[in-house]
Structure 1
Amino acid sequence: MIIRQAFFEGTIKPGQDDAFRAYVAEKLMPMWLAFPGVKEVRVLYNIERDEGAPSYAMALSTMYEDQAALAAALESPVRYESREMTKGLLEMFDGHIHHHVFDMGPSS
């Protein structure tokens, strides 16, 4: 399995926590779930971290069967629609987003 994660490094603007989460749930999650080939979508919100660790307000994790499925999802129209929709979320966020792709490896 291939896992693609988006790390929202930074902070949600003061007083915007509820609006940020609602925007993700109502506008973005339905789009992410519609990516072709997606097996799982998880959204994780930070509640605590080690002292001195960078701040990640949110992490998005999506799972695909293989790299070909991920590539197809990244080229899909819904992915481009979600990128446009994400601009509204970024108005409530101070920071930047970076993506990482992992090979999940065999389960034990």
Structure 2
Amino acid sequence: MWVRSAFWVGRPKQGEDDAFVQGVNNIIVPGLKTLPGVLDAEAFWPRRLEDSPPDVCCQIIVRFESVSDIDRMLASPERAAMRERVLAVTQHFEGALSHIDYEVGQA
């Protein structure tokens, strides 16, 4: 199993919290679930912080069976089409969006 994690580090623009949260929950996550190779996708919203973590506003986890499924999703026309919807949501956010791909359960 593989996981691709998107980290939204920063915060929604002033007065745009609801638009950002709704965009992630109702546009990005459901859209990710339709992309080729994706098993599931979820948004995580930090509520309790410990030991001074980075300023992560939201983390999106996307699950895949294999790394080749991540590559297939990244190269797909469906993902390219979805980028416009993601960019629309980022208009409500001040900060950085970055990704990490993890192999799960291997050493």
What are the ranges of 5 or more consecutive residues in structure 1 without an aligned counterpart? none
Identity over the aligned pairs, expressed in percent?
26
Q: What's the CA shift string for 1:24-71, capped at 9, x where partnerless?
A: 233222310111111110111122323532111110110111111111
Q: Matched residues in 2 for 1:57 and 1:80: separation?
A: 24
What are the ranges of 5 or more consecutive residues in structure 2 without an aligned counterpart? none
Q: What amino acid does structure 2 have at the position aligned with 1:8?
A: W
Q: What is the aligned-residue RMSD (CA, Å)?
A: 1.5
Could you tell me which residue of structure 2 aligns to residue 95 of structure 1? 95
Could you tell me which residue of structure 1 aligns to residue 17 of structure 2? 17
Q: What amino acid does structure 2 have at the position aligned with 1:46?
A: P
Please list every run of at least 4 consecutive aligned residues from structure 1 whose deviation after the TM superposition is greater than 4 angstroms.
none
Q: What amino acid does structure 1 have at the position aligned with 2:13?
A: K
Task: Tell me how many residue pairs correspond in the alignment.
Answer: 106
Larger CA deviation: 61-70 vs 11-20: 11-20
1:6-85 matches, cutoff 5 A: 6-50=6-50, 52-85=52-85
